[in-house]
Chains A and B, each alone.
Chain A
């Protein structure tokens, strides 16, 4: 779709969001909870906390829940009955029985918005994962551009930017009487035109009137990070750098793009369900064979896998990086292992090798 541009006042954006709530959509926004901010359901625009840099967690859970039912079963004698939740699928991938709830993230960060289409490639690589697809299809994303990244942020290096619209349906930028809006997708247009009242809140402007992006400059070249990873699987860097890693897995849980999962059965021998749960490549058991053999023995082996997956393996398959540069893995790491620092160091090491 050809992008469209609008201006909307602060009062009107409030009206717009409250209208979306009133139209029985599930509206989710950054919201204060015990001193931290999380993406959470709001019932009024005033619940949204739009002044923080980044919510503590991304909204990954709305696409890939921590725990998700793949099917339910009941057993009597040698009779097994299997119930497929996708038969009643909706925005929550079938796990509430409600059909097609529109779920709107208001005030998404550009990095978080970028994670959706990045994960979408994995879930549609050959076999189509409709649990993900149903949720993704019904998720509408209104992002607000960042003004000033912090020291853990590296979205620009990760090929996005604080003002990137990749993965957003609408991108807002502060300015004018409130916000300027860029509508990127049909889904974005659908929200604006959902009622004539909503459409009236937005004033269309020419493309030139929409504020241009700042000239964000990458501090290092992520392609060189990939270049190092391509050739240095056995580098001692991985074993030394991650000696302090305690393997807690928080980097993977807080990551908007980490999507690895485990499958388990839960229930009695009469009824229960098969579920998938978030898993983490940082755990030794992740790759442990039945025989006791483990391909990834040390924490260095495991963090190397995380780097390889994000900056090499995924890129070779899908020509993008499995990282949006949000920096949550680093901010939340109890050992202050900093992914921006690591990717930067690797790119410099590649430079030194090729010189």
Chain B
């Protein structure tokens, strides 16, 4: 009899301290990664402290490990934060739908991430970079509140090394340091200054709800169709499998029918997210 709430034990292979309060954890089950697709999520737990929901942050084409990023903010994440390489993390998943990479092939793609919302964007971005020739021009726009809040510093350097790939990093006004060489400005403002057009292009967006709201408006101004703007919604979840009853937006269960939606799909949902 299958217990759908029983986690597998995944072993921590590596921990990357991204900022003062965020980390990326690389995990293996039986010495390797698991089967999943960018956009999907899992329930990760520190056994004894609690379980929490995170999207995958790694490319599923990389088979040696899978990773997720978290900010220490409650009991479950404080528990995960206390773990070391070699310790085990409870894992259930993968759950939910995923990015439609078939639809993205051959097109220009702009990846837009804000704060820790960059994690699921990183997953699909690195997936596309792993098969770089399948896609047109790639632009990455990543914003954080301050320079201190920028995650994925090593990964960013890797992204920049790919051909036909622009990487733009910005911090909110006031969040810059004297030696900051990136952009200063909110993500939607910087976005509208980029040489990106909506024809034969896809936009992937994830970040705080308020950022998503304004980015969607900017993208439409730039000529993107609502069908070509893809985002992931990160509603509060417990079970991840359509039972516990808290992640719905109208009749849509984000855990089952999402978390990946087009702007067109979001437009038809009630304002309950």
Question: Of B48, B71, B234, B242, which contacts A268 at CB under 8 A?
Answer: B48
Q: Does B170 contact A (CB under 8 A)?
A: no
Residues of B within 8 A of A127 (CB): 4, 241-243
Residues of A within 8 A of B271 (CB): 233-234
A90-128 interface (Cβ within 8 A of B):
122-123, 125-128
Residues of B within 8 A of A123 (CB): 243
Which of B25-33, B134-142, B248-256 lines the interface with chain A?
Answer: B248-256
Question: Of B7, B209, B250, which contacts A233 at CB under 8 A?
Answer: B250
Question: Of B88, B246, B249, B251, which contacts A281 at CB under 8 A?
Answer: B246
Question: Of A70, A263, A267, which contacts B3 at CB under 8 A?
Answer: A70
Contact present for A287 and B246 (CB under 8 Å):
yes
Q: Does B245 contact A (CB under 8 A)?
A: yes
* Closest B residue by C-beta to A317: B251
Residues of A within 8 A of B210 (CB): 293
Q: Does B198 contact A (CB under 8 A)?
A: no
Contact present for B87 and A78 (CB under 8 Å):
yes
Q: Does A286 contact B (CB under 8 A)?
A: yes
Q: CA A290 – CA B248 in complex, angstroms?
A: 17
Q: Does A259 contact B (CB under 8 A)?
A: yes
B70 CB, min distance to chain A CBs, angstroms: 9
Contact present for B5 and A70 (CB under 8 Å):
yes
Contact present for A261 and B272 (CB under 8 Å):
no
* Closest B residue by C-beta to A293: B209
Q: CA A262 – CA B75 in complex, angstroms?
A: 14
Most chain A C-beta atoms within 10 Å of own C-beta, residue among B9, B48, B246:
B48
Instruction: Work out how many contacts link A and B, with CB atoms closer than 8 A.
Output: 133
Contact present for A274 and B245 (CB under 8 Å):
no
Q: Does B49 contact A (CB under 8 A)?
A: yes
Q: Does A313 contact B (CB under 8 A)?
A: yes
B85 CB, min distance to chain A CBs, angstroms: 10
How would you classify the secondary structure of chain A's contact residues: helix, strand, loop or mixed?
mixed
Q: Does B228 contact A (CB under 8 A)?
A: no
A167 CB, min distance to chain B CBs, angstroms: 20
Q: CA A276 – CA B73 in complex, angstroms?
A: 21
Contact present for B244 and A125 (CB under 8 Å):
no
Interface flags, A215-235, vs B, CB<8A=1, else 0: 000000000000000000110
Which of A81-89, A197-205, A323-331 lines the interface with chain B?
Answer: A81-89
- Size class of the contact patch on chain B: 35 or more
Residues of A within 8 A of B71 (CB): 290
B27 CB, min distance to chain A CBs, angstroms: 14
Residues of A within 8 A of B6 (CB): 70-71, 82, 84
Which of A30-38, A45-53, A54-62, A304-312 lines the interface with chain B?
Answer: A304-312
Q: Does A265 contact B (CB under 8 A)?
A: yes
Q: Does B214 contact A (CB under 8 A)?
A: no
Contact present for B86 and A129 (CB under 8 Å):
no
Interface flags, B42-57, vs A, CB<8A=1, else 0: 0001011111000000
Contact present for A263 and B239 (CB under 8 Å):
yes
Residues of B within 8 A of A293 (CB): 208-210
Residues of B within 8 A of A317 (CB): 251
Residues of A within 8 A of B76 (CB): 265
Q: Does A248 contact B (CB under 8 A)?
A: no
A210 CB, min distance to chain B CBs, angstroms: 38
Given known contacts A233-B271, A290-B71, A130 and B242 CB-to-CB distance under 8 angstroms: no
Q: Which residues of A contact B (CB under 8 A)?
A: 70-71, 73, 75, 78, 80, 82, 84-87, 89, 122-123, 125-131, 134, 233-234, 259-265, 267-269, 272, 274, 276, 279, 281, 286-291, 293, 295-296, 301, 305, 308-309, 312-313, 316-317
7 contacts between A and B (CB under 8 A): A71-B3, A80-B88, A130-B4, A260-B245, A262-B244, A287-B235, A290-B74
Closest 10 CB pairs of A and B: A260-B245, A233-B270, A70-B5, A127-B241, A86-B3, A313-B251, A130-B1, A265-B50, A263-B238, A86-B1
Q: Which residues of B contact A (CB under 8 A)?
A: 1-7, 9, 45, 47-51, 71, 73-74, 76, 86-88, 208-210, 234-236, 238-239, 241-246, 248-251, 256, 270-273
